[in-house]
Structure 1
Amino acid sequence: MTDLFTSAGLDQSAPRPLADRLRPKTLDEVVGQPHLIGADGTLSRMLRSGRIGSLIFWGPPGTGKTTVARLLAGATDLHFEQISAIFSGVADLKKVFEAARGRRSTGRGTLLFVDEIHRFNRAQQDAFLPVMEDGTITLVGATTENPSFELNAALLSRAQVLTFRSLDSEAVEGLLRAAEGAEGRDLPLDEDARASLVRMADGDGRAALSLAEEVWRSVGDGERLTAEALQSVLQRRAPIYDKSRDGHYNLISALHKSVRGSDPDAALYYLCRMLDAGEDPLFLGRRLVRMAVEDIGLADPQALGVANAAKDAYDFLGSPEGELALAQATVYLAAAPKSNAVYKAYKAATKAAKEGGSLLPPKHILNAPTGLMKTEGYGGGYQYDHDAPDAFSGQDYFPEALGRQSFYRPTGYGAEAGIGERLAHLDRLRARRNTGDAE
């Protein structure tokens, strides 16, 4: 419904942000998403077929999700209706659905765009299912969060997920050129400052245009900013990073896998990304400890001590000096030899313990504090290893019903290579002593 303000054309003369003025009028004008709207893009193929189904747009802010949804409605002659899950409830949804049913009775379909759709709870998400199934609405939901975690399986089964990518530097630069054309003047930036502005946008087209507006507002006639001066004027936009959401899990995964993959440079980069974004340094310290036991283990027994010391050093020093301890541990762990042999052994032993039940250990390694227990054979025949040749008796310590098991298989890397050689030597001794062969 058009209001009087819009009908009179006053909305066109009112002050409008640059991002709104430069909003694409056709899908061809959308930048940064060629995999969706290029010649062979997913949406392009859908439009060539003459119809679209319900969709979930997943991607970071400022990548064109709302704009593309609006343009899709125009390209398919559907009425465009937009709501936000932040401000809408069940009563609002009922009104939207009733209006869509009314339009459908006159032969007009409705494209319902739901911004931040992940903000709806499970029951609210279920409300969309009947109107999606009977064709009352074509749903286009937008989310910055992973749909696999935030949306109902039933809803996801009825919609195709399309991923919007952060804008690359070329796409952001294209927006800046369009902004200069709209303003009729160049940005007062030297080459390095312009490149810095592109990086500050962090792949967000709306942010790039907002930053450009801020530059024009802040710089006097004839002034030209360097990269350093630009950072001072804009106070640098914070990186996109939500410590409880995808950004957190994506970067900690990248840090962990870089350490596991023995790449100190990449590991240090992701550590600094997270610290720069405001991650709790003690969380990172705890994660480094986990890496030491999970991915390095006995290949470098000092790794756990280094990681623990770094965590404690940050706790003791605080910021900013404490971050250097975390950086040191990150580089050490990434450069260390790797082994997950203990990790795998622990999982295998846990499985055997759960499946075996309450098996009694062999009686020769049980204590016999009472006479009755001695009579029952507790402790009988136990050989004290320190008195045996090589300080090794070779006795069996597994429950008889279980039999001897092999959980820990050392790798040939780092200190674990020596451990493997010693255990192989002890296995040979055990075999000889248990068969009575002469040594």
Structure 2
Amino acid sequence: MSSFIYPTDFRILDGLRECFELIRMGDTSSPVYPLPPTVEQLVEILNCSYAASLETEEGRNTAFTVDFFDDSEQPFPYRMKEPLPLSPKDLARLAAALDPWRSRICVVPHGTSLQIAGLIHLGEQFSFHGSRLTLRQLSIRVLGPGVLLVRYSGLLLLTYQRGRFAFHCGPLARFGEFSIRTALSFHSHVGRTVEQLRVDLRFEAALVRIARTMLYQRHGGTLLVLPQGVDWETGASTRRYALSVPVTVVKDANARDLEYEAKRNQLFKEVTQGQLSPEVALIWTDDMIRARFASELEWLARLTATDGMTVILPDLTLLGFGVFFDTQESKDSATRVVIIDPYDQESSREPKDLASVGGARHQSAAVTCRRFPGAVAVVASQDGSLSSMKWDAAANVVVAFRHVELLLDV
């Protein structure tokens, strides 16, 4: 008998129902918590979404987001004159024209089944500044063949990947959705001052942006974040694209962005106090400065597609790219790793051999993190997976997070 777990497995359905109840806490009338689908409706949505994820459109994988609305007469900005029965084929056809992050395929009840009634466009979702427009309905996002994310009331409940699943809400959760920043940066905020915390959070947001771009490239790559003052060049065996001096383009864009934000806030304060000046219109309409930092982060991320590692400092100074380090080890001093995998329910924190962390790119990153204590490596694979790792000197192991990619949509 096959042990493959489909999205409609009873363990997934029971876990999702438990999440619904936990979030709603018996409050069935508040508009903050829209009515979730019945078990039958949930099965239909999951089945159709999973089947649609396996479809291709002109050779491209299918990606989309479908939301459930309990009101069959729900008004949508793009309301269909003739609703369509929910089917994998129509989901795949619509997906070709829609961005899975910016748009929603809206599904409503129709008798004992469901139908596609309209579309919603939410606009930009990954701006570095400001907040995104979100919906609280049950939402299923398909990111590729057999890859599903389930949200409700704005919270990530479940990630499913080709027969494996992990809950991120409720008593079954192993990773909360907001653990993405910790997984990428390995920061601890305990004992940090307000200013230090502000710098930490901004750097973590920058790492999220970089990691997302690394994944979009669908090309393997490694970003290595070194502590200040590390003599990394003597440990590099190859520096194919060596830089004559460290490049501070991204760091400078960050500084200008912070300066602009402070000035913008000051002018806003003056306006609220009735102090108008011609500079207000200029500052508020000049979003090029705000966009510059995000574009520089994406440029930095693209450098990771070169063979070797892209090496930066925590202040986003670029030290080099296409860098290879000597990772030869003696047998009596081999690097050991602890793997943290949200999909491995049986995983232990026992150290494992280096090979368990992944292929050559992952192994090289792990050994390099051990060689430079305090360094953090973010590794993207061609298959769309993302890992992060750091040396834990106290435990004498490299700690590696796997499948960080499915938490990036936060």
TM-score by length of 1: 0.22
More helix per residue: 1
